[in-house]
Amino acid sequence: MSHRWSNPFEPFFASQGVAVLDGGLSTALEDAGHDLDHPLWSAKILLERPHAVRKAHEEYLAAGADCIITSSYQVSRDGLLAAGVPPDEAVAVLRRSTDLAMDARESFLEEGGCREGRLPPLVAASIGPYGAALADGSEYRGDYGLSVPRLQEFHRWRWEILAAGPADLLACETIPAVAEAEALLGLLHDTPHRWAWFSFTCRDDGHLGDGTPLSDVLGLFRGVERVAALGVNCVRPEWVPGLLEILTGGSDVPVIVYPNSGEEYVPAGKRWVPRADGVDPVAEGAAWVRRGARIVGGCCRVGVARVRDLRTALLPPAAG
């Protein structure tokens, strides 16, 4: 599927007004009984049980996702080498992440997934932040202490392989620091045939993980071509209204939001617990669209069933 000259999401905006994103791949894998307690996180399953990754993609497509994100979020050359993967095989592992998603889409289409008027879904190749490779939580803080050139050097290996692959676009996700946004934006400039979205993780309803005002970061993208969407992910859903106000007021690029479930993560026990004041992202999805979001999905702890509910809320059968 080629989208070289136009935003890959445009057909969805024209046909249904909004696009539904999938949920957390790790959530779907954990719900299926897979243990992700490993530095490679979901990439561990990519290495050991690739069929499980494909099945998770298929489940999200069946649930109504218009776009699925590949399992490359935590894949890095250094991380794979540290896990004992030979250098030549590391490239194959990264490519496999896209191939599995493409295979899942092909199977979905062959089985008549679009017979009810749905458009062929998109595949977005995930590019997670530098901190994801460290597996120490710094992906939410952005306190790397690295220069833009050094961050660009880290990302280039994965970027070039994924950009040369068959995915419809790249998904630069969970960006916690302005320096990392600059690094990834530079790689987009160097790849004239590719579209990408850029999604930030924030410490509150106005600042990136490193403390930079979101409004300041949006300035980096003014006038930049081939930015499919700008937005936030892996944030508390109660922050989304404030973040949407900044995103819609500071840019004319389509806005993407895919927050966490609204539960609280307890690092000590590596578990999620309900919050009394938690906001349900599925219940709020339609309100976020009214506030200007064009692409809505879920991140941590938002699984297949919740994406199905989200599609029903945003695109009721009579209208969808």
> For residue 72, what pLDDT is reported?
96
Q: Which of 9, 82, 6 is nearest to 40 (CA)?
A: 82
Q: Which domains does the chain have, with CATH numbers?
A: 19-314 (3.20.20.330)
Low-confidence ranges of the chain (pLDDT < 70): 1-4, 38-39, 267-270, 318-320
Q: Dihedral angle at the C-alpha atoms of 186, 209, 283, 10, nearest 10 degrees?
A: -10
* Residues 6 or more apart in contact with residue 37 via CB below 8 angstroms: 270
> For residue 4, what pLDDT is reported?
64
Q: Which of 212, 299, 289, 266 is nearest to 17 (CA)?
A: 289
> For residue 319, what pLDDT is reported?
47
> For residue 2, what pLDDT is reported?
46
> For residue 42, what pLDDT is reported?
72
Q: Which of 154, 168, 223 is nearest to 196 (CA)?
A: 168
* Residues 6 or more apart in contact with residue 88 via CB below 8 angstroms: none
> For residue 137, what pLDDT is reported?
81
